[in-house]
Chain A
Amino acid sequence: MPDAAPLWAAVVLPAALAVAAVVTAGFDAVLSGSAERGPAGSLREAGLRATAPLREALRLLVQQPRRTTAADRLLGRLGVVLVPVAAVLAGAVLPWGSRAVSDPSVGIVWFNAMEALAWAAVWLAGWGANSALSLIGGYRFLAQGLAYELPHMFAITTAALGAESLRVGDVVAAQDGLWFAVWMPAAFVVYLLSALAMAFWGPFEHPLARDTAGGAAAELAGVDRLVFLGGRWLLLVVTAGFSVPLFLGGGHGPLLPGWAWTLLKTAAVLALLVAGRRLLPTLRMERYMELAWMVLVPLTLLQALFVAVVVLNR
């Protein structure tokens, strides 16, 4: 059972998540760079590539925001700001070692609710600009949500079922001996897929894809763009990080303290997702929809049934 973290953890959390997001973006930039322009020749070149996202962020800070005609600025701004806010709020139930900023008795449902907020936020951001392409991007993410959300919910329900609790701390405690990823592999894989889909990143970046000139982010420039795209990286870090307490045993591990294991495991999951992205093309939603509902939903239901039978016989 995690202890309550001190109050300053609430201040540190957004900063820690932001640092993790910058590092992840840097790693992705290095991989992208070597895929597009060949391996970095010198250490300096590699450093330049790794800091490209930071320099882009600084550039966006001073860039002029774009105004569009008859834009719904209230809803658009709300959507843009909600993405990082929802990511940080979801991160509040992430346990670091044996401590989380907050460990409510319904932490898993809270996490899911905050994801849903981010889901609505992307549509708002797409709607706000009064531009056809960004609206298409917003609608694409709604469709994407319908595809990934059901298997995702079943996957996290399975983890909660295995621990017989919706409290994240209890889920971690239940994995003292055996990680859930070992005896719930289907739920774990589905969770990783939906983590990518939730962050509308990698193979699931269709809502922001190039064929719609950037989709939901098409008309965003300057600070708006920084907040929105930065929020997306935060979402990726938080959703990837949440797979650690759900399936990878949280802070459990030999020798090292809990927080170090959490950090290591989160970094491993993020590295897997970022490197795995290069193997998959961008998925169209109607394709993933059919896969999700015809294959993943039955699969996760069977997984949940298996876990339920195991738990009943315990």
Chain B
Amino acid sequence: MRALLDDVIFWVLALLAVAGGLMVFRFDSMARATYALLTSLLCVGGEVLLLGLDYLGVVIVLMMTIEMAIMAVFMVMYMMNPAGLMPMTMLHNKQGAAAICAVVFAVLAAGILLAPWPSRRGRPPDDPTMDLGLSLMGPQMLTMMTLGLALFATIVATVVLATRRGRYDRFGDDLKARRADDPVRGGTGR
């Protein structure tokens, strides 16, 4: 009974995820395309929950919701026809893209069907997320930490380079101004 229910949930989520992914390319409107993608990703989060990876599943839901809500802003900003009021298409190089998709799908499906999956030994761990994390990056934890710091430093550096008004614009060339010269007053009053 439990297994049957799991199967039903798996297939419903899987079909919804694929349908959402397809609709990203069918919709005219950037807002709809973004939220179709979010639907698809939420379904993937559901599938991960179904695997018993509670933490990863809920984090996927959390991160993807925030990410897509922000991405909608950029999609609307940069794409022509944001609201779907004029005809447009998200597809470029249709035949090439279709061929690539078909080949990737075939390779992945063949991999799933042909791989010699091991049968379960022992019983599932109490906290599968912990075990997954350990097996993914256990021996490379130092590398991962360094990588995380480097990525974060890159983000900060990019923002610093891209920002139009730096501290010299705000506090004068000698950084001695007591109040920042900001176009909009307020904030912490510096």
A joins B in a complex: yes
- Chain A positions within 8 Å of B, measured between CB atoms, are 70, 72, 74-75, 78, 104-106, 109-110, 112-113, 116-117, 119-120, 123-124, 127, 130, 139, 142, 145-146, 149, 166, 284, 286-287, 289-291, 294-295
Q: What distance in Å separates the Cβ of A87 from its nearest Cβ neighbour in chain B? A: 15
Residues of B contacting A113 with CB < 8 Å?
Answer: 58-59, 61-62, 65
Query: Which residues of B sit under 8 angstroms from A74, Cβ to Cβ?
Result: 32
A75 neighbours in B (Cβ, 8 Å): 31-32, 35
Closest 4 CB pairs of A and B: A290-B187, A113-B62, A287-B186, A120-B69
Whether a CB of chain A sits under 8 angstroms from the CB of B115 is no
A116 touches B55 (CB 8 A): no
The answer to whether B32 touches A149 (Cβ under 8 A) is no
Instruction: Tell me whether B186 and A290 are in contact (CB under 8 A).
Output: yes
B187 near A142 (CB under 8 angstroms)? no
Chain B interface size band reads 20 to 34
Provide the bound-state CA to CA distance between A75 and B61, in Å.
Answer: 19
* A106–B73 touching, CB < 8 Å: no
Main secondary structure of the interface of A (DSSP, over half): helix
Query: Which of A127, A286, A291 is in CB contact (< 8 Å) with B31?
Result: A127
Q: Are B85 and A116 in contact (CB under 8 A)?
A: no
- A146 to B38 alpha-carbon distance, docked (Å): 19
From residue 29 to 78 of chain B, which have CB atoms closer than 8 A to chain A? Answer: 29, 31-32, 35, 38, 54-55, 58-59, 61-62, 65-66, 68-70, 72-73
Q: How many A-B pairs fall under 8 Å by CB?
A: 78
Tell me the B residues contacting A by CB distance below 8 Å.
29, 31-32, 35, 38, 54-55, 58-59, 61-62, 65-66, 68-70, 72-73, 83-85, 127, 184, 186-188, 190
Cβ distance B109 to chain A, nearest Cβ, rounded Å? 31
- Distance in Å from the Cβ of A135 to the closest Cβ of chain B? 9
Whether A106 contacts B58 by the Cβ 8 Å rule is: yes
Instruction: Give chain B nearest CB distance to A102 CB in angstroms.
Output: 12
Q: Flag if A291 contacts B65 (CB, 8 Å).
A: no
Tell which of A72, A145, A166, A291 touches B83, judged by Cβ atoms closer than 8 Å: A72
Residues of B within 8 A of A284 (CB): 186
Q: Which residues of A contact B68 (CB under 8 A)?
A: 120
16 contacts between A and B (CB under 8 A): A70-B85, A72-B84, A75-B32, A106-B55, A113-B58, A116-B61, A117-B61, A120-B66, A124-B31, A142-B70, A142-B73, A145-B69, A146-B70, A149-B66, A290-B188, A291-B188
A109 touches B55 (CB 8 A): yes
User: Bound complex: CA of A75 vs CA of B69, how far in Å?
Assistant: 13
| Complex contacts, A149 vs chain B, CB 8 Å | 66
Given A72-B84, A291-B188, A294-B188: A123 and B58 interface contact (C-beta under 8 Å): no
Nearest residue (CB) in A for B65 is A116
Residues of chain B within 8 A (CB-CB) of A72 are: 29, 31-32, 83-84
With both chains docked as a complex, state the minimum distance between the C-beta of A228 and any C-beta of chain B, in angstroms: 17
A311 vs B28: C-alpha distance when bound (angstroms): 52
- Pairwise interchain contact B69-A142, C-beta atoms closer than 8 A: yes
